[in-house]
Amino acid sequence: MTRQSISLTRPNDEWLKAQVDSEEYTSKSEVVNDLIRKAREVEAIRKKLIEAEESGFSERLPDQIRADAKARLKNAAKI
């Protein structure tokens, strides 16, 4: 694991300490890593939403879309 040194404002440092004090996390590093993971998830979701928006409108009916989605989920479960 890579070690980093960062500077924090007092409110951010106090917030991190409060997260550890609440025993939800065991260290400030764990809090920061969790925040980064969540930010990466949000970024991935945002990217997918933009791609979907840019792909345009579908001519398929809602029932067709649901059937395709169910088929994709079924195939993904087999893998």
Rounded CA gap, 52 and 57, in Å? 9
pLDDT per residue as tens digits for the range 2-31: 999 999 999 999 999 999 999 999 999 999
Rounded CA gap, 51 and 14, in Å? 38
pLDDT per residue as tens digits for the range 35-66: 999 999 999 999 999 999 999 888 999 999 99
Rounded CA gap, 2 and 29, in Å? 11
Q: Is the pTM of this model over 0.85?
A: no
Task: Kindly state the tokens that stand for 1.
Answer: 């694991």
Q: How big, in percent rounded to 5, are the helix, strand and coil portions of the chain?
A: 70, 0, 30
